[in-house]
Amino acid sequence: MTIQKKLFKVTGELHKDQLEFKVSAWKLLIETNRYYEIKPLTGTAVKRLYKEKLNAATTETQYYANGALVVSAFCMEEYIEEIQQRIIDQLESKIDIYMHELTLNRKAIEGVSEHLRKEHVSSVSST
């Protein structure tokens, strides 16, 4: 009797004020020294997952837009809760980075805006 080995994809989707986790089972097709070949239980798409990527949370969102960020990871069933915490940590880190970048952008805008106001005031007062 062969036991079908499963991996799980854990996805954390943050959209504005909602954080939702989705967990989906993937069937292990082939295991080599370097990678797993897996496919979702429903569907036909086969994915190659390199072993060093197992339990590693990766950001799927390329650009922050409409208040959405997505981070996911593949893991064994016993690591699902740990991976969910890693996903939360990565989302918090991403938000911190974006907040810092936005603060810098705000300072740049305020600097230019202040400079333009001073120029406007001096041009109005000289006429």
What pLDDT, on a 0 to 100 scale, did the predictor assign at position 3?
A: 56
| Pair 36, 30: CB distance under 8 Å | yes
10-34 burial code (b ≥16 CB/10 A, e <16): bbbbbeeeeeeeeeeebeeeeeeee
Least confident of 48-52, 57-61, 121-125: 121-125
Half-sphere CA count of 75, side-chain side, radius 13 A: 21
Q: Please report which confidence band the pLDDT of residue 116 belongs to, taking 50, 70 and 90 as the band edges.
A: confident
What pLDDT, on a 0 to 100 scale, did the predictor assign at position 126?
A: 66
pTM for this model (two decimals): 0.81
Half-sphere CA count of 42, side-chain side, radius 13 A: 1
Whether residue 2 has pLDDT greater than 60: no
What pLDDT, on a 0 to 100 scale, did the predictor assign at position 109?
A: 94
What pLDDT, on a 0 to 100 scale, did the predictor assign at position 18?
A: 95
Instruction: Give the mean pLDDT of the chain.
Output: 90
